[in-house]
Each structure stands twice: as structure tokens, then as C-alpha cells.
Amino acid sequence: MSGIVTFVKDRIGERRGLADYSLIFIVLFLLSFGLVMLYSTSSYESMAQYNDAAYYLKKQMIFTLFGLFLMVGVSLFPYTLLKKFSVLAYVVSVGLILLIIPFGKEVNGAKRWLDIPLLPIQLQPAEVAKIGLIIFSAMFIEKLGRKALGTVRGFIVPMVPAVAVGVMLWKITDNLSSAIIVIAIVFGMLFVACPDYGKFILIAAVVLVVAVALVWYTVNSADTNSLDFRGERVLAWLDPQAYAGGKGYQTIQALYAIGSGGMFGKGLGQSMQKLGFIPEAQNDMIFSIICEELGLFGAISIMLMFILLLWRFMMIANSADDFYGAMLVVGVISHIAVQVILNIAVVTNTIPNTGVTLPFISYGGSSVVFLLIEVGIVLSVSRGMRREELARLEES
């Protein structure tokens, strides 16, 4: 019997250092699919603006390869060491957001990027803040412990740093969608860590009531001309046709794309809406082109791939060696889940228009690089998943 146990332990020991190939396959599939759809979506605009149909594809491929390199490096890095840099990660996140004030670069009317010295690339501090908060909050939540998290104070204290970063993103970069995402990431981590779900139901109900009240106030505003662009987006969300020449234009064109795709789509590369009708379709609205070219079948298929990705993350979180590792993975789950839901909801006009990209698929260098770093962290956690199994064999 001891010989069998030794043999099994050796087998497990050999496998322990291996990567999670199912997770890697899903991520590589999403990245490959994203590059194909990016080329299909952006080729017309790329040719019109840069005389190069593959302009956006080439840039995204460079960032994707760089992100994959970082993903592999981070996956080999013991995730427990991240705890030592958690405070630094938060400080760097805040510092980069503050640097937007004197050094931020404005693109398409939004001042949200920083130029990297000596390199022809731009960094979006909001993406750094997301991963920074995951690392910091995982440490904070573990330090408090499950018992403390069950109290009101234990819930509020970890939310304060997230709300602070969210407010800075909102006020400094005028990026409300990223502010919502960073707060939702920590909220999701607390939801999983906290033994009492009652307060979360109450908070969700309060947020829903406040959102409905704000929509009601916007609709019944005496002077709609005095509303800011977010107020106009709410009105365009409720009645896109009434704002077809302004804030409702992109939404209407996206809905045309979705509706014209039918069950199986027009065929890859055959979209009409990408021919200048949907502005910068390769960014937030790429899901509408997926629906047009690949139909409902393609849209559901890609959503299922995201569900498989999140399911795999959950399996890793459940099997993590420690609470800190589990919280890191839960943070990544919250980030990707919230961003996918918001993007698809915007494209289908389920919620007002916000600037949220579709993870791994939409065009965006900072986004894909930091998403792959997050995947690298998850892979690092997964490498130690079999320690508990080894411990059980030792006891037997």
C-alpha cells in the first residue's frame, strides 16, 4: 500500500507544477477569436484612415503577445509574494490616476491616458487600478478574517479604498464606467468572503431604488437641455429614435446590426454596419458586429465561452491553497464578469450607453495586457491546487 501511495504522490508532484491547460485553452480561444473579429470589424475604417486594413490588428497583436509573455511570467511567480506588494499596488494605482491631472493625454474628448516615456504607447490608469485593487483588497479581506467581515464595520472598511479610487476615476478621468467596475470588483470579493448575505441584498435594493429615482428625475427634468451628457444618454436609452441624430445614433446602429444577423449571421466579414455606420465599432460595440456576422448562434457561443472561463476560475478559487489566493481569483472573476455583463447590456440597450470594452475581444492595448496579467495570477494560484491532495495522502 505504501508503494502505491508513493507512486501516486510522485504522479501528483509531477503534475503540480503544470499549468491549467483548460483555462489556457479558453483564454487563447477568446484572444484568437477577438483578433479575428477585430480585423473583420476594423478593416474598413483602418483602410480609410491609415491606408492599412490590418492597422488595428497589428497593434492589438503586439499588445496580445506582450500580455501573453507577462501572463506566463506572472504564472511562474508565487502569488503569495503579491501580498508583500499589495499596499504598493494600491499606492501606484492612486498615483497613476493623479498623474492624469498634469500629464494626461486627451483622446476623443476624454483625458484618461498617460504617455509612456521613450515608448510609442499609452497607459490607461483605470486598468492598473482594477488589478491593483484586486491585489490590495485580497490582502485586506484576508487580514480582517471572515468573522470581522460579518460586521457592518468589517464590510465598510474594505470598501473605503475602492470607493476612493472609484471617485478619483470618476472626477479626474470622467470615467464613471471604470469607477463602477472597480467598486463592483471589491463588492463581489466581499460578497463571496462574507458569511452574511443579507446586507448585500439590502445594498442591491437601495442601489436599484436610487438608480430608478435618478432615471425618473432625468426623464421629468423641467429643462432637458441643461442635462449633462450622462443625462442625455439616459434619455437616449429610453427612446433611441428620438435621439437618432445624437446620443442614440450608436445604439440604433448596433441594434440594426444585431437584428439583421438573424440566427446564423451574414457571414464573417459581411457586416454592413461596420462600414462607417457604427463609430469605432472595434471598441465598445464589437459584440454587435459579432451578432451581425455570426448571428445569435455566434453570440451565444461566445457568451458560453465566457461562462466556461468564469466556471474554471471558480473551480480554481474553490481549490486554492489559502484564503488569499481564493480572494485573488474571486477578484478576477468579479472584474471579468461585471465587464462582460455591462458591455453586452450596453450593446443590447439594456442599460444606458457606457464606455466598457468586451474583455479579450474589444480593441485596447492596456485592457488586454492587464487582463492577461490577471489570468497569470489565477494560473499562479492554480499551480498549488494539489497541495491539499498531497496532504490527504500524507495522512493516509
In a structure prediction context, what are the per-residue pLDDT tens digits for the chain, which is 396 residues long? 444 444 334 444 444 455 688 999 999 999 999 999 999 999 999 998 999 999 999 999 999 999 999 999 999 989 999 999 999 999 999 999 999 998 888 777 778 888 887 667 788 999 999 999 999 999 999 998 877 887 888 888 899 999 999 999 999 988 888 999 999 999 999 999 887 777 888 888 898 999 888 888 887 875 666 667 777 888 888 888 888 878 888 889 999 999 999 999 999 989 999 988 888 889 999 999 999 999 999 999 999 999 999 999 999 999 888 899 999 999 999 999 999 999 999 999 998 888 789 999 999 888 999 999 999 999 999 986 655 544 444 454
- Within a 10 A sphere around the Cβ of 45, how many other Cβ atoms? 20
Predicted TM-score of the model (pTM): 0.90
Listing from the earlier edge strand, what are the strands of the sheet with 122-123? 105-107, 110-115, 122-123
Q: What is the pLDDT at residue 187?
A: 93
Q: What is the pLDDT at residue 223?
A: 62
Return d(Cα 279, Cα 168) in angstroms, integer. 28
Grid cell locating 165: 479610487
